[in-house]
A and B are shown apart, each in its own frame.
Chain A
Amino acid sequence: MSQPTPRGHETDGLEILLEPGGESRPQDGMTQVLTFRLAGERYGIPIGCIVEILKYRQATPIPRSEPVVHGIVSLRGRIVTVLDARRRLELHAAEIGPATRIIVVRDADEPVGLLVDEVLQVMKLPADAVKPPPATIRAAAERGIAGVCDTRQDSILILLDMQGFLKV
């Protein structure tokens, strides 16, 4: 049902997982998602919106910004806002550790970084495996939660809708 693919290789602190503009659309009814861990839970986002994955680097905090803003980093001459994905989902603020990564995603016309605890793998999911979020998840749509999927391994996978998730 799911097919783990090898992790991206690492090049001087920069972990390249995908070629830019890589395959993003579901093929034969399959959706490819990148999974990662946030406060012990498993989340997934479509790989089509991912620009690159960075090892954590010291971000400059932005005074007087929303709590969800972790800070800014400079990425090859461009300033990228990094959002704390945990805060966005109303979990505790992130704790930076050796596995912490910044997933840079495309948002409208500028890249945005998402701070996550650990990047797991890329998975293929049949489109019909994704179920609407159970009613017990509070304010799912507002937090950008698109659905859930039982992958029969590890904990349940929570899929994020990037458009809704980045609406902050």
Chain B
Amino acid sequence: MTDGGESLRPQEFMGEAEEILEALGSDLQAAEAEMRGGGVRIQRLNSLFRGMHSLKGLAGMFGRGDLSRLAHRLEDVLDRLRMGECTLDAGFLDLLFDAHERLEALVSGCAGEDAGLEELLGRLQAALGENKGEEAAAGVAGASDPQGPSPPVGLDAALLSSLTRFEEHRLRAALAAGVPVRLVALRLPMESFDGDLRSIIGSVGEAGEVISTLPCYQPDEAVDGLGFQLLVAATCSEEELLARVGRPARVETVRAVSDEPSLAPPAPGGGPVDPPQTSRADDDAGPAAGEAGGSASVRVDLERLDRIMNSVGELLLFRRSIADVARRLVDNPATQVLGRDLTRATRDLDKRLHELQRSVIGARMVPVSQMVGRLSRLVRKLSRRSGKEMVLESRGGQTELDKVMIDRLLNPLIHMVRNAVDHGLEDPHERRRAGKPARGRLLLTAAQRGNSVIITLSDDGRGIDAETVCRAGVKRGLLEPGTPASLELACDLIFEPGFSSSPAVDEVSGRGFGLDVARREIRALNGEVTLRTSPGVGTVLEIELPITLAIIQCMLVRAGDLDFAVPVAAIAETLRYRPERTESIATSPVVRLRGETLPLVDLRRFFRLQGGPDGPPGYVVVTRSGERPLALAVGDLMGQHEVVIKPVGRRLESIPGIAGATEVAENRAALVLDVTTLTAEVQRMSGAA
């Protein structure tokens, strides 16, 4: 039925592959911007090459044949590009974007038949064939001679042989172009060398190119620290170079042609000795000492974090029972003193637990900007396909959200972007007529507001036309004929399942996947989405999400003999139940509160619960979902608790009013109320009655 054998863990592959793809994607976009600005930086091509090399290795390790083949071919292509053996033009870049998309599909395992793959491999091969080293027209800044007999270089043979093929190529290119090349030797303290080196490379990189960073031993200096040699090609003066290094260093210039006959031939590997300090691979795909080394972070499996999170949740449960014991001790005069001590100790424990909880939550947080790359590549693609000019801008990308949320938010956002491009943004012609810039603008913003994160996606398109939408609503039977069209109604309608005002299903936003699915997914994350539109000016979709799914403050309430957790965020107030304040309007019970009339629902009756004491409810919990208030009659209030909310599984997740479950005591679960679906269900029921 299920095979017991466990192969290499797929989530490890996914996590790492996605990270590499993300970096490749942003490098491609940066390359495109650089191309527009005059020329693609050689560092960019090198970083693309490195990323592709890692991906190839990863794919091979996990036995992903197709992925590995494509990555291998791309690695070849990128290698030739960075070696200046062929040139990168707009068409070639498009091809790389296509290939990137294909890689994404292969990684996520949703690539179709591999017919397309062969075609793509063929196109890459062809691009290499017809594009051979026209250096003059190079899009690459400072590309240089293809391989061939290279003149010797005034560099120590051991050092030269420790350069990678690419670094040597860059060295020769710089010398050939007459750019001064210098060898900078310096020492850095053991404890901070990686950070120091990174900042030096950054600062020197602004003035020129750091071709290589080589660690070396300098036994004559008895000082602590590590010696490094930086091979730098830069047109600036030696003084400026030293100023950029910002610490004592020895600089010597590397000459183009050797005048020392004693030098060994410069072919890589031909050097007489393998310098001990450079135990480097035969190619430079591994992180160079200075660049990627020393990033003080580790990748952690989400499942492990979940386990830690669960343990923290359990600790919080224990805290509760200890606090109970303390209370009982305090209540008894004989043990009062002991009880107070225990209460104090519990408070200290509390503080620590909350710190722990915050750190664990923090470890799950990632910046929203992780999604921006994917979305702007999508926009780029949609722009090409639809012939509409547009750009995606983003603000607040540093805002953090739970990793799980980011992952699950991507699909709804992709759909919303597609929707905006398809229905919102006009074509350039129409835009000019409306007095707008030809290029449409999508703006993605993220900001934290209290315990929520607000993400908005706005476009400066034509907005929603109430008439068109309502007409479509009538046609689909979602609206009674003759209902007056209003913007408010239109905004509700487009979230209805099965609603689409576009007459044809097209490749851009068709496939029967409506905004309703996007909204359902967002609601599954405890979030809510709202829409504002202004005809002719544009549309704003606003998503509000809790920062983390993992822990929420809840009020525990009892209905019948069951406990329910109501998210505090959804509670407006709680009051004692007073029969005199309730009445009924057309048989629907309501409660009046400061001039407002709220629908009243007895939770016990709503859930058709049998157990528990008879008699009137004890309390009323007033909740708000969006602007819609609801008064929930419950038996008793059990106090506020932090609960770890967990999914209830696919069989139960569609029951209205239930968001998930949580552990309230050992092995005992309580249901967490979903105020949004509860409110909707109550309205539906009273509408049906």
**A, B from the same assembly:** yes
Q: A21-B5, A58-B668, A62-B671 are in contact. Are A78 and B646 (CB under 8 A)?
A: yes
With contacts A74-B668, A81-B648, A81-B651 taken as known, whether A48 is within 8 angstroms of B1 at the C-beta atoms is yes
Q: Closest CB of chain B to A161's CB: distance in Å? A: 9
CB pair B314–A72 under 8 Å, yes or no, is: no
Residue of B311, B649, B655, B670 with most partner-chain A CB within 10 A: B649
Partner of A24, one of B1, B313, B649: B1
Assembly CA distance A77 to B661 (angstroms) = 11
8 A Cβ contacts from A29-65 to B: 46, 48-49, 57-58, 60-65
Q: Which residues of the other chain, A, contact B649 by a CB distance below 8 angstroms?
A: 72, 79-81, 110, 112
Contact of A64 among B1, B5, B656, B667 (CB under 8 A): B656
Q: In the complex, which residues of chain A have a beta carbon less than 8 angstroms from the beta carbon of B289? A: none
Known: A64-B608, A65-B655, A74-B669. A22 touches B648 (CB 8 A): no
Kindly identify which residue among A25, A61, A72, A75 contacts B648, using a CB–CB cutoff of 8 Å: A72
CA separation between A112 and B663, bound complex, in Å?
A: 17
Q: A75 vs B668: C-alpha distance in the bound complex, in angstroms?
A: 9
Give the number of residues in A that approach B within 8 Å (Cβ atoms): 36
Which residues of the partner chain B approach A74 to less than 8 Å between Cβ atoms? Answer: 661, 663, 667-669
List chain B residues, Cβ under 8 A from A93.
none
User: Are B670 and A60 interface neighbours, CB within 8 A?
Assistant: yes
CB of A69 closer than 8 Å to a CB of B? yes
In the complex, A23 has a CB within 8 A of chain B: yes
Q: Is the beta-carbon distance between A110 and B1 smaller than 8 angstroms?
A: no
Q: Which residues of B contact A73 (CB under 8 A)?
A: 667, 669
Query: CB distance A79 to B661 under 8 Å?
Result: yes
Set of chain B residues within 8 Å of A69, measured between Cβ atoms: 651-652
Cβ-based interface call for A168 (8 A)? yes
Given contacts A72-B648, A74-B663, A77-B310, contact A64 B4 (CB under 8 A): no
Contact B669 A48 (CB under 8 A): no
Does B647 touch A at the CB level, under 8 Å?
yes
Compute the total of residue contacts between A and B using a CB distance below 8 Å: 94
Q: Shortest Cβ distance from A36 into chain B, in angstroms? A: 17
Cβ B652 vs Cβ A81 within 8 A: yes
Contacts of B311 in A (CB 8 A): 77
List B contacts of A108 (CB < 8 A): 650
Across the two chains, which residue of chain A brings its CB closest to B610? A61
Determine whether A106 belongs to the interface, using a CB cutoff of 8 Å to chain B. yes
CB distance from B395 to the nearest CB of A (A): 36
Give complex CA distance A72, B5 in Å. 29
Interface readout for A145-162 with B: 1 if CB under 8 Å, 0 if not?
000000000000000001
User: Is residue B217 contacting chain A, with contact meaning CB distance below 8 A?
Assistant: no
Mark A2-38 against chain B: 1 for CB-CB distance below 8 A, else 0.
0000000000000000001111110000000000000
Contact code string B294-325 (vs A, CB < 8 Å = 1, else 0) = 00000000000001001101100000000000
Whether B4 and A22, one on each chain, are in contact in the complex, defined by CB atoms closer than 8 angstroms, is yes
In the bound complex, CA of A7 to CA of B482 (Å): 70
Chain B residue with Cβ nearest A46: B1
A76 CA to B667 CA, complexed, in Å: 8
- Residue B609 CB within 8 A of the other chain: yes
B652→A63 contact, CB < 8 A: no
In the complex the two chains form, is B4's CB within 8 Å of A110's CB? no
Specify which of B311, B562, B667 lies most central, judged by the most chain A CB atoms within 10 Å of its CB. B667
Residues of B contacting A57 in the complex (Cβ-Cβ under 8 angstroms) = 667
Number of interface residues of B (CB under 8 A): 35
| A106/B2 contact (C-beta < 8 A), A77-B663, A112-B649 known | yes
Q: Counting CB contacts under 8 A, is B62 at the interface?
A: no
Interface centre among B307, B609, B668, B670 (most CB of A within 10 A): B668
Q: Is B52 an interface residue (CB 8 A)?
A: no
A137 to chain B minimum Cβ distance, whole angstroms, is: 22
Q: Which of B562, B650, B661 has the most CB of A within 10 A?
A: B661
B residues in contact with A78, CB < 8 Å: 646
Complexed CA–CA distance, A106 and B307 (Å): 20
Q: Does B6 contact A (CB under 8 A)?
A: yes
Is A60 in contact with B656, judged by CB distance below 8 angstroms?
A: no
Query: How near does chain B come to A151, taking the closest CB pair, in angstroms?
Result: 21
Give every chain A residue within 8 A of B646 (Cβ-Cβ): 77-79
Are A62 and B3 in contact (CB-based, < 8 A)? no
Residues of B contacting A48 with CB < 8 Å?
Answer: 1-2, 4
Pairwise interchain contact A60-B648, C-beta atoms closer than 8 A: no
Complex Cα gap A66–B332 (Å): 47
Q: Which residues of A contact B313 (CB under 8 A)?
A: 77
Query: Which residues of B lie under 8 Å from residue A58 when comparing CB positions?
Result: 667-668
Choose from B1, B5, B6 the contact partner of A49 (Cβ within 8 Å): B1
Contacts of A61 in B (CB 8 A): 562
- Taking CB atoms, residues of chain A closer than 8 Å to B671 are 60, 62-63
Contact with A along B600-643 (1 / 0, CB 8 A): 00000011110000000000000000000000000000000000
Question: In the bound complex, do residue A65 and residue B1 qualify as a contact, i.e. CB atoms below 8 Å apart?
Answer: no
- Given the complex of chains A and B, what is the CA–CA distance between A130 and B647 in angstroms? 38
On whether the beta carbons of A110 and B668 are closer than 8 Å, the reply is no
Q: Contact: B2 with A63, CB < 8 Å? A: no
Which residues of chain A (71-113) have a CB below 8 Å from chain B?
Answer: 72-81, 106, 108, 110, 112
Is B4 touching A65 in the complex (CB atoms < 8 A)?
Answer: no
B residues less than 8 Å from A72 (CB atoms)? 648-649, 652, 661, 669
Q: Is the pair A49, B663 in contact by a Cβ cutoff of 8 Å? A: no
Closest to A106 in B: B2
B658 beta carbon closer than 8 Å to chain A: yes
Contact of B4 among A23, A79, A163 (CB under 8 A): A23
Alpha-carbon distance A76/B669, docked complex (angstroms) = 11
Decide if B651 touches A168 in the complex (CB within 8 Å): yes
7 more A-B residue pairs beyond the given contacts A61-B562, A106-B1, with a C-beta to C-beta distance below 8 A: A21-B5, A22-B4, A46-B1, A49-B1, A77-B310, A77-B311, A79-B646
Q: CB within 8 Å of B: which residues of A?
A: 20-25, 46, 48-49, 57-58, 60-66, 69, 72-81, 106, 108, 110, 112, 162-163, 168
List 10 tightest A-B contacts by C-beta distance, closest first: A63-B607, A21-B4, A77-B310, A49-B1, A79-B661, A74-B663, A81-B649, A60-B669, A74-B669, A48-B1
A-B contact pairs, 29 of them (CB 8 A): A24-B4, A25-B3, A48-B2, A60-B661, A60-B669, A60-B671, A61-B562, A62-B655, A63-B607, A63-B609, A63-B655, A63-B671, A64-B607, A64-B655, A69-B652, A72-B648, A74-B661, A74-B667, A74-B669, A77-B311, A77-B663, A78-B646, A79-B646, A79-B648, A79-B649, A79-B661, A80-B649, A81-B652, A110-B650
